[in-house]
Amino acid sequence: MFHCQERLHSGCLPPWVGSARIPPGLGDPVGERMTILDRYILRKHVGPFFFAVTTITFFFVMRVLVDFLDLFATRDLDFLTILEMFALSLGWIFALTFPMAVLVAVVMAFGRLSQDSELDAMHAGGISFGRVVAPVGLASIVLTVGLFYYNNAVLPDANHRLKILRSDIQKTRPTIAIREGVFMDEFDGYRILVDEIDDENSIIHDVTIYVLDPREATRTIHAPWGELLQGDGGNSLVIRLHEGEIHEVDKDDQSSYFLLNFETHDLIFDDLGTKLERRLEGGTRGDRELPAAEMLALTRALEVERAAYSDSLVADASRAMADLRGQVRALLEADPEDLKPAEFLSRARVQLRKVRSSERRSAGKQRDINRYWVEIHKKYAFPVACVVFVLLGAPLGAQMRRGGAGAGGFVSFLFFLIYYMASLGGEKLGDRGFLSPALGMWGINLVLGACGLLLVLRRDRGLHFRRARTAS
């Protein structure tokens, strides 16, 4: 407290204090001062927030690049298609980036306020820590509402379009490249061996080609050299052989052999499938490609189907028990010489299979219901993490008087990793029915939010105690 008092008396005031000097009679000085303070605190978060968004997005984009590298390297894709894949990938990237950036920004901003003793100056002026956190919490609520809309209106379509584009690219055959010294089976019905390639002039030397058509006789084509002529953007290829010969054995008479010399012979390969064919729609949508309202409607329909399967299960079980009782009664009343245990066991197995089939159908519908409910809760639980990270990050950052941005980034990454792993575990447990979908997705929010709120309240109580000791 002595340091804060000395700083205030020496005239080295924080910007939010200096700008709060209002002439008498011009509005409410306290209210105006608090408005200026709110703006000052929010400005402290703007730079770290956008820095975190940029940095985290960059790392996620690098991960996407690694995932798609094989597709880009083996398919003949134009630049706009590659750019579209990255742009569509930003859909799920931003859904993770913004909550994480909030945590980074809050920890770094409050860490800087603590290092500059500005938090001490605010507390000395009677401003509680909860009041300091309030404008950031309000901003996080606004961001949360925006992410609610984003996760339901933008993200599902982006995920669906990305799935369609990736499926179209995977269906496209890799770019066929002639290689030296290896047998190539990429051309249907042919095996090609080239000894040497002149890439600059598209000339191949010492070419051997085996025709692999079971309906025709064995045929081998050999030429000392040839040309590679590509067309249709690489989707067609002509191998023009020069001064070669064709060797053929009669399919019916293995002793008959034919030799044909040629000056020029063309092998034409059309529609190699290396050209990307785009679709506008890609069939049914998965749970991550639907807004919450549509998934809710699906869960209601699935509930009706599951109830029907459950009723069927009960009915099948009742019929099976009645049938078994009748068979047992018949066996007890029958002559020992007429007993047929094998027939009894066979009918019992048939009834058991019917019951198990109904049980599997009912369990499958329940898994689908759980999966949709998990995704519905995820669309709202992840955005609410913005508020949770403000409550958690503010007291953590206020404790960091040393370490700077590096320490703040490390702490933020550690807590986000804990949050992400817990959410992922809750999602898996919710999908499998070990936890309710709501608890699986909201549990970590409740735990970290409660911890953050306790830390904020504890810091305010500690400051009251410090002020009382100073006053005495």
**Domain boundary at 252, 269, 286, which?**
269
**Whether residue 123 is found in the same domain as residue 11:** yes
How large is the average pLDDT for residues 219-233? 82
Specify the pLDDT at position 183: 82
Specify the pLDDT at position 380: 95
Give the bridge partners for 264, in sequence order: 242
Specify the pLDDT at position 177: 65
Q: Is 282 inside any structural domain? A: no
**Whether residue 358 is found in the same domain as residue 384:** no
**Whether residue 99 is found in the same domain as residue 166:** yes
Q: Is 11 inside any structural domain? A: yes
Q: Is 351 inside any structural domain? A: yes
**Whether residue 10 is found in the same domain as residue 86:** yes
**Whether residue 399 is found in the same domain as residue 338:** no
How large is the average pLDDT for residues 81-104? 92
**Whether residue 83 is found in the same domain as residue 147:** yes
CA 39 to chain centre: 35
**Whether residue 210 is found in the same domain as residue 240:** yes
**Whether residue 422 is found in the same domain as residue 369:** no
**Whether residue 22 is found in the same domain as residue 130:** yes
**Whether residue 162 is found in the same domain as residue 29:** yes
Please say whether the beta carbons of 394 and 412 come within 8 A: no
Confidence of residue 6 (pLDDT cuts 50, 70, 90): very low
Q: Is 285 inside any structural domain? A: no
**Whether residue 348 is found in the same domain as residue 422:** no
What is the residue range of 387's domain? Answer: 2-172+380-471
Provide the domain count of the chain. Answer: 3
Confidence of residue 2 (pLDDT cuts 50, 70, 90): very low
**Closest listed residue to residue 323, CA positions, set 356, 348, 306:** 348
pLDDT per position as a tens digit, 279-334? 766 678 888 889 999 999 999 988 888 877 777 767 766 766 776 676 666 666 65
